[in-house]
């Protein structure tokens, strides 16, 4: 059987290597998660189990891809930041986004029983994309954009579900009530009508989750010429629910943006 | 919190719409499946359960994406053929390859217990890519390339594992024995030394699996002006282990290549 | 002087090879030719010298690039069709579009004095693009689109300039007079008010110019073992002002679309 | 004539906008300039007229594209650096590279008679490409790479042509004589055999030409609220034959890399 006469079809594959020296962000997004969360009775406005599962999957991905220095997640999305100088898969966009999306999804189904008592009813999926950011500022602005999105959606959802669950409004009525309101209006409704101080809610819901890869001080360095390779540095993952828009965060983890290019 | 001042980062996302009027093939490939199959004691040279699970996942994907007219799988890979005129996701390459890879993987973990008695030990992943083929001939040659690959690998693996499992050779010895042999040599070894007629082995192993979407004759069409929409045609998926390199297959399913462009 | 430490910058160049087995069209377009034609007193609505110069340049390009089988030009634009199987510059998009644009422009300035008595006042430029068309139908439709564009613009310009040059209207008045008119209206104005039968105007203006590369029957084959290489076939360029939207043209030159893929 | 039924072909054009916030370099290269320089009797190893003409063309390009802050040329090539924040042509790669290549070529033919007494014998062409550089360092390294290339080639050519023109060697003999020699060897040959101190040769040949766009101090600023628009700043082009690899150059023109992103 002549294999060779068909092999020309490989020429139709196109090179999609990403520009060097740019931050490489892969974001995965749940597909039709409105329906999925309904089918699995996620708690509204936030289901802690679902958010924890998301972060569990993100850690799996970061365990596999050591060039990811930071990830940020909220709702049904997670963003993974590969270092500017990463050469993983030769920076091929297809490989990067499909591998990350696939592994994230796989972990989601795999770890589901650790977070939810009931069986999963059907397999969910996450799409993915890869975006390049040339400068530190662009990257920080990207992450700020996602965290601002988290805030805006969570504030809306918190008021909306308060109106529905405690206020006796129908979803339609709640929607109308909130149309055109500002952030301050929503905070006021929460406080006046439901006695909720938004800022006291869990930062998991308000800020999302950032996972940082930190170098581990090498305490266990072998005393007498052990084999410890200098190449593979020890790192650990630290998960937090903090503000990443302000400079404080970046000042606290200066190695993240340690841009020497 | 000013969302708008960060939104400029969306401009860094690039348009990746695929050229119109080309066959659009998404292929998913198991990542490090050598290790995965060892860790889960897959039978050698072929594990029928694993292959059946792969095809189960392919059907899930075809259920979701109605524009896939055909898929072909072998070993730890599956190719999905979207119709030339498909507009799904506006033909955006990223969306297509990540959604298919993710859903395929999700189904793999989800359906695993239906095929394997033991628990999955860790979440597997599949990478994906999208390739365009402008002509029917290019597409058929692509699929022929994958089926020829199936044949070559399966013949090799069948002899290799016979030599190891029944012939008492070590993997290394089997590898050396096979170095430089032709197909005819391998067939001869199988027949003379192990009494195996390669052509009698299961076509599932020799040919892989092709799944075709067939139109269903609309028997249940309502007699007098029923609500049956003409838009969404009824189709069914038919799975086969047949030769797709020869013309016979394509003549039998002429609607697959019904190219009117 | 260390050259090597800088050479890494080559990695920032990206591969832009075009998909194989597609028609490859490079179109060049005059930049700011309104201003250029005014500055050089082009006759309105058409300047035969300018159109002839354009076609002279197109022939230069076709002399250089033997894989161009056909070109079509009108107004200040020209489209060059490379054969589906062309491997020129490895089908790299950048090389193709810049080389064609540059050579076309170069020829324009170079041959200018052969067509215009007055010196060129400043150097003009042409931008370029490359577009892929997978099927013969797509290619023919592309060319039909350009010829339909030629017709629409030329009919408009012919009436417009008749109203201005012979009808005594100001450009603004002419524009208002034509707003919302159909083709039939414009034909009627031309005929009733200026005694012009549009269809009798020069096909150079109405149809644009198509240049076909034709094989030359090899009459001059050397009798006694001459050096004539079989590889480089003799061809000649034939320029015409004919309809290329109807099938007649394509039936007359069947080798143009001789698509065996 | 139905225009609309053909217009779908526009969908085959692909978006090729360049990543924002990257330096955008367009480099044009003479095509087959070996032949062109022979046909026009360029002086060896350098023809000052040809180099001056190249820089004249570069200035034309910089006059047209105000977002080019710097260009660098040597031999038959010129690189144009667009500012990181340039939005010219929406950063579409095709438009950028073809427009620059075309205008450069146009100017070359147009201005030829100002530099060469004899007529041009045939129209030359320049190909072009666009490359993105994310950081200032990448950009400076790119330009250093081109200047190092200038140095290496010019040193080689200077010795080669000395051996041929003054040393009586054939081109082949000169080539063999130089095979494997280091820079120091070549300097030595020049000095010992031909009394030439390489460093005393014209910097035009040794360093190439850098053209910088400088802001012009606005002396003519109207005293009390004149109409002078703040938008379109006055600039002038300054051409130099200096080292751009060392930091001195960049320190002298700090506004070039004034990177605030």
B137: closest chain C residue by CA: C261
Give the model's pLDDT for residue B261. Answer: 41
How far apart CA A124 and CA A110 sit, in angstroms, is 12
Q: What pLDDT band is residue B112 in, cutting at 50, 70 and 90?
A: very high
Q: What is the pLDDT of residue A18?
A: 98
pLDDT tens-digit profile of B203-257?
999 999 999 999 987 665 554 444 544 455 789 999 999 999 999 999 999 999 9
Q: Look-up: residue for tokens 């890519």?
A: B129
Chain B residues touching C19 at Cβ < 8 A: 19, 22, 132, 134
pLDDT tens digit sequence for A171-184:
999 999 999 999 99
* Interface residue A6 vs chain C (CB under 8 A): no
Question: Which positions ≥6 away from D85 have C-beta within 8 Å?
Answer: D20, D21, D261
- Least CB–CB distance from B132: residue in A3, A12, A148: A12
Tokens of D242: 């200096």
**CB spacing of A105 vs B107 below 8 angstroms:** no
Q: Which whole number is the average pLDDT over C5-25?
A: 97
Q: Say if residue B67's pLDDT is above 80.
A: yes
Please name the member of A134, A137, A261 whose beta carbon is closest to the beta carbon of D19.
A134
Does A19 contact D134 at a Cβ distance shorter than 8 Å?
yes
pLDDT digits (tens, 9 = 90+) for D19-45: 999 999 999 999 999 999 999 999 999
* Share of residues in chain C with pLDDT > 70 (%): 92
CA distances from A139 to A92, A96, A252 (A): 20, 18, 17
Q: D151 versus A219: which is more confidently predicted?
A: D151
Residue with the bigger pLDDT between B33 and D258: it is B33
B23 or C223, which is more confident: B23
Q: Is the pLDDT of residue D230 over 50?
A: no
DSSP letter at C36 equals H
Strand blocks (E) in chain D: 23-30, 68-74, 77-82, 126-133, 209-215, 235-240
Chains contacting B (3+ CB pairs below 8 angstroms): A, C, D
Model confidence pLDDT, tens digit, residues A188-232: 999 999 999 999 999 999 999 999 999 987 765 554 444 544 455
The pLDDT, as a whole number, for residue D3 is: 58
Give Cβ neighbours of residue B69 (< 8 Å, ≥ 6 apart). Answer: B81, B82, B83, B212, B213, B256
Structure tokens of B193? 């030394």
Residue identified by tokens 């008595």 is C117
> Is the distance from CB of C137 to CB of B261 less than 8 angstroms?
yes
How far is Cα C27 from Cα C32, in angstroms, rounded to an integer? 16
How crowded is the C-beta side of A43, counted as CA atoms within 13 Å?
Answer: 9
Query: Quick one: pLDDT at residue B61?
Result: 98
Q: Which residues pair with C236 in a beta bridge?
A: C214
Alpha carbon of B119: minimum distance to chain C alpha carbons (Å)? 44
For C133-148, write each residue's pLDDT tens digit: 999 999 999 999 999 9
- Measured CA to CA in angstroms, residue C206 lies from B98, C30, C49, C74, C147 at distances of 49, 19, 16, 9, 9
The pair of structure tokens assigned to D131 is 């490359």
Of D11, D12, D20, the CB nearest to B11: D20
In the β-sheet with B68-74, what is the strand arrangement from edge to edge?
A: B126-133, B23-30, B77-82, B68-74, B209-215, B235-240
Catalogue all structural domains in chain B, each as residue range(s) with its CATH number. Answer: 20-217+233-257 (3.30.70.3000)
pLDDT of the residue at A220? 59
A10-38 pLDDT tens trace? 999 999 999 999 999 999 999 999 999 99
CB contact under 8 A, A123 and B60: yes
Mean pLDDT value across chain A: 93
Q: How far apart are CA A246 and CA C79, in angstroms?
A: 53
Residue of B nearest to A119 (CA): B110
DSSP 8-state code for residue B205: H
Q: Which chain A residue has its CA at the smallest distance from B142's CA?
A: A9
Nearest to D148 among C6, C10, C126 (CB): C6
% helix, strand, coil for chain C, step of 5: 50, 15, 35
Q: Which residue of C has its CA nearest to A9?
A: C20
Chain C residue with CA closest to B19: the answer is C132
- Interchain proximity A22–D261, CB inside 8 Å: no
Separation between Cα atoms, residue D30 and residue A142, nearest integer Å: 41
Distance from the Cα of residue A214 to its chain's centroid: 17
Of C67, D6, C16, C20, residue with least CA distance to B134:
C20
Cα separation of C242 and C208, whole Å? 8
Q: Report the neighbours of D using a cutoff of 3 or more CB pairs below 8 angstroms.
A: A, B, C
Q: Name the β-bridge partners of C78.
A: C28, C73
Judge contact between C133 and C57, C-beta under 8 A: no
Instruction: Lowest mean pLDDT of A2-6, D43-47, D94-98, name the range.
Output: A2-6
> Nearest-CA distance from D29 to chain A in Å?
23
Q: Are B134 and C19 in contact, with CB atoms under 8 Å apart?
A: yes
Closest alpha carbon to B24 in B124, B122, B130, B112: B130
Separation of alpha carbons D158 and D75, rounded Å: 13
In B104-225, beta strands by DSSP E = 126-133, 209-215
Question: Is the confidence at residue A43, as pLDDT, over 70?
Answer: yes
Tens of pLDDT, residue by residue over C213-245, are: 999 876 655 544 445 444 557 899 999 999 999
In degrees and rounded to multiples of 5, residue C60 shows phi and psi of: -55, -45
Which residues does chain C have within 8 Å of residue D145's beta carbon, measured at their own beta carbons?
A: 3, 6-7, 9-10
Closest by CA to D105, choosing from C25, C34, C26, C126, is C126
**Cα distance from C259 to chain B (closest Cα, Å)?**
10
Q: Å from A15 to nearest chain C CA?
A: 6
- pLDDT value for A217: 78
Q: Which residue has the tokens 């892929």?
A: C132
Instruction: Provide the CA D26 distance to its chain's centre, in angstroms.
Output: 9
List B74's β-bridge partners, or say none.
Answer: B77
Query: Mutating which of D18, D19, D93, D134 best tests the B interface, going by the most B Cβ atoms within 10 A?
Result: D19
pLDDT at B27 over 90: yes
Beta D77-82 vs D235-240: how paired, if at all? unpaired
SS3 sequence, chain A?
CCCHHHHHHHHHCCCCECCCCCEEEEEEEECCHHHHHHHCCCCCCCCHHHHHHHHHHHHHHHHHCCCEEEEEEECCEEEEEECCCCCHHHHEHHHHHHHHHHHHHHHHHHHHHHHCCCCCCCCCCEEEEEEEECCHHHHHHHHHHHHHHHHHHHHHHHHHHHHHHCCCCCHHHHHHHHCCCCHHHHHHHHHHHHCCCHHHCCHHHHHCEEEEEEECCCCCCCCCCCCCCCCCCCEEEEEECCCCCCHHHHHHCHHHHCCCC
* Encoded tokens for D47: 């023809």
Q: Nearest CA to B246 among B210, B197, B196?
A: B210
CB atoms within 10 A of CB C31: 20
pLDDT greater than 50 at residue A260: no
Q: Is the pLDDT of residue A148 over 90?
A: yes
Distance CA B44, CA B38 (A): 10
Alpha carbon C10 to chain centroid, angstroms: 34
Q: Which residue has the tokens 């003999």?
A: D173
* Among A120-129, A247-256, B87-96, D225-234, the least confident range: D225-234
D261 vs A contacts (CB less than 8 Å) = 134-135, 137-138
Contact between residue B109 and residue B123 where contact means Cβ atoms under 8 Å apart = yes
The subunits that touch chain A, with at least 3 C-beta pairs less than 8 Å apart, are: B, C, D
Q: Nearest-CA neighbor of C129 among C26, C47, C223, C219? A: C26
pLDDT of D259 over the 60 cut: no
Strand partners, D74: D77
């Amino acid at each position: 059987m002549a294999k060779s006469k068909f092999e020309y079809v490989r020429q139709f594959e196109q090179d999609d290597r990403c520009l060097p020296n740019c931050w490489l962000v892969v974001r995965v997004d749940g597909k039709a998660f409105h329906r999925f969360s309904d089918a699995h009775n996620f708690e509204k406005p936030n289901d802690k189990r679902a958010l924890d599962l998301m972060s569990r999957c993100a850690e799996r991905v970061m365990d596999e891809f050591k060039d990811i220095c930071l990830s940020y997640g909220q709702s049904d999305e997670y963003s993974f930041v590969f270092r500017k100088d990463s050469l993983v898969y030769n920076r091929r966009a297809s490989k990067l986004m499909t591998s990350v999306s696939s592994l994230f999804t796989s972990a989601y189904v795999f770890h589901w029983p650790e977070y939810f008592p009931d069986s999963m009813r059907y397999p969910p999926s996450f799409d993915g994309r890869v975006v390049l950011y040339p400068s530190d500022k662009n990257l920080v602005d990207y992450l700020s954009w996602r965290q601002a999105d988290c805030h805006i959606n969570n504030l809306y959802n918190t008021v909306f579900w308060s109106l529905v669950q405690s206020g006796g409004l129908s979803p339609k009525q709640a929607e109308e009530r909130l149309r055109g309101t500002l952030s301050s209006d929503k905070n006021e409704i929460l406080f006046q009508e439901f006695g909720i101080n938004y800022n006291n809610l869990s930062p998991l819901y308000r800020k999302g989750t950032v996972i940082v890869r930190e170098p581990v001080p090498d305490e266990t360095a072998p005393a007498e010429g052990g084999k410890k390779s200098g190449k593979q540095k020890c790192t650990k993952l630290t998960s937090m629910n903090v503000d990443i828009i302000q400079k404080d965060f970046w000042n606290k983890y200066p190695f993240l943006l340690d841009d020497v290019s």
